[in-house]
């Protein structure tokens, strides 16, 4: 093995050998470290590559072992694909394509389970009637909760691209609220007549929207309809055993299945 060499990839340091980096001469790394392409240095004299430092561990491990090893809950395939395209290691490109086919097959059969809960809550707020004149008001507000589990991580990502929270005047994808790749918890409120917009922010009240339709979800019926639309477009169907089709819209637990 050749002498150790330290790389700075996007601010993250890796130590390996020159022979490992040049094990595929036709790749970007092979060209960089054989002198065909000039390399940059950081302030410590380490070779610097302005790419994603975290993802580089999988690139480097492939150079060492010729195997693409990813964690079971790996969620950055798109980013890995872009990095693999940059480094142009042909056997790694092929290994990634095989991995994506493997994951796609594993995702075909899936189950989706949704548990719904709803309650009525009184919200108190002040209303500005005139300069320096305020009145105290209150109103009943519907509060919704949905606990979603799916064996398909990709479906929850799809759901996250369609449903958005409205909070503090901004829309943000529910994807950032994923507890893990298979579980998602949603909590939101219906709009309240007369409640000033700033009160939603002050009282930490989120509303739920469907995009790109720009449709607000103010009831469980609308929520179920929209989730059904998204799920069925992805190949899911209602589990005939639970609940009974005639009671579907009134059920607190909903299960859908997909067979491909």
pLDDT band with cut points at 50, 70 and 90 for residue 249: low
Take residue 63 and report the two structure tokens written for it. Answer: 């150079």
Q: Say how far apart CA 179 and CA 185 lie, in whole Å.
A: 7
Cα 59 from chain centre: 23
Mean pLDDT, the chain, whole residue set: 87
The candidate with the shortest Cα–Cα distance to 144, out of 121, 175, 178, is 121
The residue-averaged pLDDT of 92-119 equals 85
DSSP category for residue 215? E
Reported pTM:
0.58
Beta strands in 27-182 (DSSP E): 40-41, 47-49, 110-130, 133-150, 163-167, 170-173, 178-180
Take residue 257 and report the two structure tokens written for it. Answer: 């299945």
Helix axes 153-160, 90-108, angle to 10 degrees: 90
- Model confidence over 65-90: pLDDT tens digits? 999 999 877 878 889 999 999 999 99
Q: What is the pLDDT of residue 169?
A: 85
pLDDT band with cut points at 50, 70 and 90 for residue 243: low
- Model confidence over 147-185: pLDDT tens digits? 999 988 888 988 988 999 999 888 999 988 877 888 999
Is residue 11 within 8 Å of 54, Cβ to Cβ? Answer: no
The residue-averaged pLDDT of 15-37 equals 93
Cα 135 from chain centre: 43
Task: Give the start-to-end residue ranges of the domains of the chain.
Answer: 2-104, 108-256
Q: What is the pLDDT of residue 106?
A: 64
How many angstroms separate the Cα of 132 from the Cα of each of 129, 195, 199?
Answer: 8, 18, 18
pLDDT band with cut points at 50, 70 and 90 for residue 104: low
pLDDT band with cut points at 50, 70 and 90 for residue 242: low
The candidate with the shortest Cα–Cα distance to 50, out of 80, 7, 90, 79, is 7
Burial grade of 2 (CB within 10 A; 0-12, 13-18, 19 or more): exposed
pLDDT band with cut points at 50, 70 and 90 for residue 248: low
How many angstroms separate the Cα of 156 from the Cα of each of 4, 112, 148, 150?
Answer: 43, 9, 9, 7
CATH of domain 2-104: 3.30.710.10
Burial grade of 112 (CB within 10 A; 0-12, 13-18, 19 or more): buried
79 CB neighbour count, 10 Å cutoff: 12
- Model confidence over 191-213: pLDDT tens digits? 988 888 888 998 999 999 998 88
């Amino acid at each position: 093995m050749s002498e150790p060499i330290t790389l700075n990839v996007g601010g993250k340091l890796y130590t390996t050998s020159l022979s490992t980096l040049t094990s595929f001469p036709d790749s970007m790394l092979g060209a960089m470290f054989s002198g065909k392409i000039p390399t940059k240095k950081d302030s410590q004299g380490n070779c610097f590559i302005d790419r994603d430092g975290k993802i580089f561990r999988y690139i480097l491990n492939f150079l060492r072992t010729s195997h693409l090893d990813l964690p079971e809950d790996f969620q950055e395939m798109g980013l890995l694909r872009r990095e693999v395209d940059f480094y142009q290691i042909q056997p790694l490109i092929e290994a990634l394509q095989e991995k994506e086919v493997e994951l796609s097959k594993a995702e075909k059969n899936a189950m989706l389970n949704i548990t719904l809960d709803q309650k009525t809550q009184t919200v108190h707020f002040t209303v500005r009637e005139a300069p320096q004149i305020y009145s105290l008001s209150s109103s009943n507000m519907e509060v919704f909760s949905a606990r979603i589990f799916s064996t398909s991580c990709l479906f929850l990502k799809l759901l996250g691209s369609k449903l958005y929270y409205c909070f503090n005047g901004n829309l943000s994808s529910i994807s950032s609220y994923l507890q893990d790749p298979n579980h998602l918890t949603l909590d939101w409120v219906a709009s309240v007549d007369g409640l000033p917009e700033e009160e939603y922010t002050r009282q930490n009240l989120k509303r739920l929207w469907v995009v790109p339709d720009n449709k607000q979800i103010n009831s469980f019926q609308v929520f179920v309809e929209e989730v059904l639309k998204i799920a069925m477009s992805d190949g899911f169907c209602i589990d005939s055993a639970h609940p009974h089709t005639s009671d579907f819209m009134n059920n607190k637990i909903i299960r859908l299945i997909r067979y491909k």
